[in-house]
Amino acid sequence: MPRPRKLRCVRRQPVEAFYKPQGVPLSRLKGVILPVEGLEAIRLADAEGMEQNAAARLMDVSRPTFSRIVADARRMVAEAITKGWAIRIEGGAYRIKKDREVDLKKINRKNEELTMGKIAVSCDGPGLDNPVESRFGRAAGFMIVDPETLEFEYLDNGSSQAMARGAGIQAAENVARSGAKVVLTGYVGPKAFQTLQAAGVRIGQNMENLTVREAVEQYKTGQIEIAQEPNSMGHPS
């Protein structure tokens, strides 16, 4: 027995349920049936201009699923328009989401952050399930993680660990050169913080009770606030 499809979240019922070419009798019209979730996908992607991973979160589906839904919907609409057919909007596997309206600008901003590059996570060794190292500058290394695929490489931080002073600045420069656009760590001192910000690297702090994998997942789902100031003034970073 096939498993029932997961219901896609939509914000509201369609304003209109039927569209047809002017002056063509219904008896002569062919048409397509656009499911309600298909209309919602077009609204988010085309009318609101949202990136697909943000729109997928709103509809409570994966990004590949959203990509398939919006591609099918666009094809139906394009076929109807180019062939002079009617469009009926009905059916599908969806539910109306009753919670508060989402701040689309905020979601788009978070989405832009996610798509700008890789994430550097301070750690004590290579591996997604290792704990996040609390000390940014004195970490053994950094996992440089692609947030979309979870592919990673390990950046050794031994040269910074060996320094008597300036370890945080050296680590920040190493991370910036790696191409990472976000750092997730525990504590960052003011000089390291300033160096990262100058290089255009966003900083998420207080991650020391998570694994590397958990920190990346929390960032992807918008649970981590980007820091505006260092959280350590005297702690070695």
- At 14, which amino acid appears? P
Q: With 80 as the cut, is the pLDDT of residue 195 above it?
A: yes
pLDDT in tens, 119-163: 999 998 899 999 999 999 989 999 999 988 999 999 999 877 667
> Would you give the distance in Å from CA 149 to the centre of its chain?
12
The C-alpha atoms of residue 34 and residue 19 are separated, in whole angstroms, by 11
- Each residue's pLDDT tens digit, 196-221: 999 989 999 998 889 999 999 988 88
Phi, psi of 216 (to 5 degrees): -65, -45
Higher pLDDT, 191 or 114: 191
pLDDT of 100 higher than 80: no
Give the global pTM. 0.52
Domains and CATH numbers, the chain: 8-111 (no CATH), 116-220 (3.30.420.130)
Q: Which is more confident, 187 or 235?
A: 187
Asked whether residue 88 carries a pLDDT value surpassing 50, the answer given is yes
Average pLDDT, the chain: 85
